[in-house]
Amino acid sequence: MTAIIILAVLIGIIVLGVFIIAGMYNGLVRSRNRVKEAWSGIDVQLRRRASLIPNLVETVRGYAEHERETFEEVTKARSQLENANGAADNAVANNMLTGALRHLFAVAEAYPELQAADNFRELQRELSDIEEKIAFARQFFNANVLSYNNRIQTVPNNILAGMFNFVDEEFFETDDEGRAEVKVDFSGAAVGD
């Protein structure tokens, strides 16, 4: 009789344990999926941005033909962004493109007809809108990454995370040094004309 009770209790504990572990595992999967979903929010904006670049370069070329270096910088940054893999890699490429675009817009200041062109102004508006959206998407993504990383690094989830290969996700970080550099470029362009 007592043997049966002990057996029943043991089975009960095991079943309970399995349920708890399954719940923890599902929590980790949900958390990781949220990171993926948040990433798609950034990705959409990065693609939107990249898709505007050829049009922008063509428009600027129509007015400022001999600024070849600037065009090349932008085009190179764009292709690097398209080939980027993972959040950190994408962030670096995106920061490069941001820098290149700022350079391009600084150069464009020297061409009043370009500044006055509707097409150019529309592209400029659109790009600054995308830049804002990337900032918001980044905020949401990084918050999700932080929550996920905290989760898989803390007891008891870390044990489970190790067993089922849940690894830290990368943050999408803006590069403020890059921004400072562009500011120097901007003043250089202003002096240049």
Partner 1 sequence: MAEAPQERVLIYDRIDANKRITLVIMAGFVLLAAGVFVSIGVIVSYYAGTPESELVGVSIRVGVVAAIIATGIGIMMYFMAPAAVLTIAGAHEVTKEDEPELYRIVENLSIGSGLPMPQVWVVEDGAPNAFATGRSPDQAHVAATRGLLNKLEKRELEAVMAHEMSHIGNLDIRLMTIVAVVVGIVALIADLMLRFTWYGAGARRSNRSKGGGGIGLIILIIAIVFLLISPIIAGIMRMALSRQREYLADSSGALLCRNPAALADALEKIAKDPDPLESANKATAHLYIAEPLQGHESFTNKLFSTHPSVEERVRLLRAM
In the complex with partner 1, the residue whose CB is nearer, 67 or 169, is 169
User: From the CB of residue 171, how many other CB atoms can be counted at a distance below 10 Å?
Assistant: 14
Burial readout 110-120 (b: 16 or more C-beta within 10 A, e: otherwise): ebeebeebeeb
Stretch that binds partner 1, among 6-14, 35-43, 59-67, 102-110 (CB under 8 A): 35-43
Is residue 89 involved in binding partner 1 (CB under 8 A)? no
Please, what is the angle between helix 87-108 and helix 118-153, to 10°?
160
33 contacts 87 by C-beta, under 8 angstroms:
no
Q: In angstroms, give the least distance from the CB of 139 to partner 1.
A: 5
Q: In angstroms, give the least distance from the CB of 146 to partner 1.
A: 5
Binds partner 1 (CB under 8 A): choice among 101, 142, 157, 166: 142
Q: In angstroms, give the least distance from the CB of 100 to partner 1.
A: 19
Tell me if residue 182 falls in helix, strand or coil.
helix
- The pair of structure tokens assigned to 173 is 């970080």
Binding site for partner 1 (CB under 8 A): 34, 37-38, 41, 45, 129, 132-133, 136-137, 139-140, 142-147, 150, 171, 173-177
